[in-house]
């Protein structure tokens, strides 16, 4: 099953008799207060113009639970997540398309959560809103209540111990910027560096200059060069389980299944008992 959809394909589906549910998940990493810039307001961006019929989903409130020491974006409570998705009109038997402003991270988080909890047909708008050249609207739709009930999968999710084990026995990819992986800078978390054994694989390198994911063949070649193979289990982490979901999406396009460490570096680095590696090498 395809995990991404182009703007032209989406326009065709929206014009048909059974259009997909559209979820607007515009989100950006909060800017540190020291910069003097206000945090990004996804709802305000949504209200200024969104795809026709799209419902706004708040990543921080509906796709994550309060931190409580489990990383910045721990998994949401399944019942609360299901209620939020039903309010947005999500049903098990109707396709869903998620999009954001173009970076892809927020949309990928929604895609991963819906797929991991059992929705059979979820795709990400490749290139996000910036790829769309059709009409926008500012009115807020009131969708009919959906019927989606999350059933979390037994596989596809890593905790801290599982991530540490995978770094030794398989392939654990770090989706953050290289300088954070190397420990040269750390603008958010307690310390810089990476999980020992993890391989640097910035998710920003999975997209082209137009913001769209690279073709499947190029992604496949990239992940093979990083150590992915048919018999190697793969996992991904980032700062808080958001940009890593985008890397899991890119891996899916390349035909490589991967698990997500949702707690990611924000959880790992908060525990002083966890080892930290620095420098360009995994160990």
Q: Which residues are catalytic?
A: 238
Tokens matching residue 20 = 């997909």
CA 101, 209, 195 angle in degrees (round to 5)?
80
Of 135, 50, 116, residue with least CA distance to 88: 50
User: Which residues are bridge partners to 5 per DSSP?
Assistant: 125
| Cα 117 to Cα 151: distance, rounded to the nearest angstrom | 5
Q: Are 137 and 275 in contact (CB under 8 A)?
A: no
Per residue, what are the HEC states of the chain? CCCEECHHHHHHHHCCCCCCEEEECCCCCCCCHHHCCCCCCHHHHHHCCECCCCEECCHHHHCCCCCCCCCCCCCCCHHHHHHHHHHCCCCCCCCEEEECCCCCHHHHHHHHHHHHCCCCCEEEECCHHHHCCCCCECCCCCCCCCCCCCCCCCCCEECHHHHHHHHHHCEEEECCCHHHHHCCCCCCCCCCCECCCCEECCHHHHECCCCCECCHHHHHHHHHHCCCCCCCCEEEECCCCCHHHHHHHHHHHCCCCCEEECCHHHHHCCCCCCCCECCCCCC
């Amino acid at each position: 099953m395809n995990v991404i959809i182009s703007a032209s394909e989406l326009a065709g589906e929206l014009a048909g008799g059974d259009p997909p549910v559209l979820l607007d998940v515009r989100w950006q990493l909060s800017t540190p207060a020291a910069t003097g810039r206000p945090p990004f307001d996804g709802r305000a961006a949504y209200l200024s113009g969104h795809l026709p019929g799209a419902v706004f989903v708040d990543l921080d409130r509906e796709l994550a639970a309060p931190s409580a020491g489990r990383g910045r974006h721990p998994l949401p409570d399944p019942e609360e997540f299901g209620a939020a998705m039903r309010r947005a009109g999500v049903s098990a038997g109707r396709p869903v398309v998620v999009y954001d402003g173009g970076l892809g991270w927020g949309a990928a988080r929604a895609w991963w959560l819906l797929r991991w909890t059992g929705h059979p047909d979820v795709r990400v708008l490749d290139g996000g809103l910036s790829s769309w050249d059709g009409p926008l609207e500012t009115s807020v739709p009131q969708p009919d209540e959906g019927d989606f009930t999350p059933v979390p999968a037994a596989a596809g999710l890593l905790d801290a111990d599982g991530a540490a084990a995978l770094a030794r026995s398989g392939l654990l990819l770090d989706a953050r910027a290289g300088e954070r992986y190397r420990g040269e800078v750390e603008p958010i978390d307690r310390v810089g560096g990476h999980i020992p054994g993890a391989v640097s694989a910035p998710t920003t390198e999975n997209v082209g200059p137009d913001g769209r994911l690279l073709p499947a063949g190029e992604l496949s070649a990239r992940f093979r060069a990083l150590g992915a193979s048919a018999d190697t289990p793969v996992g991904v982490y980032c700062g808080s389980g958001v940009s890593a979901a985008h890397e899991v999406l890119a891996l899916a396009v390349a035909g490589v299944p991967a698990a997500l460490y949702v707690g990611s570096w924000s959880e790992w680095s908060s525990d002083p008992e966890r080892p930290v590696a620095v420098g360009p090498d995994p160990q």
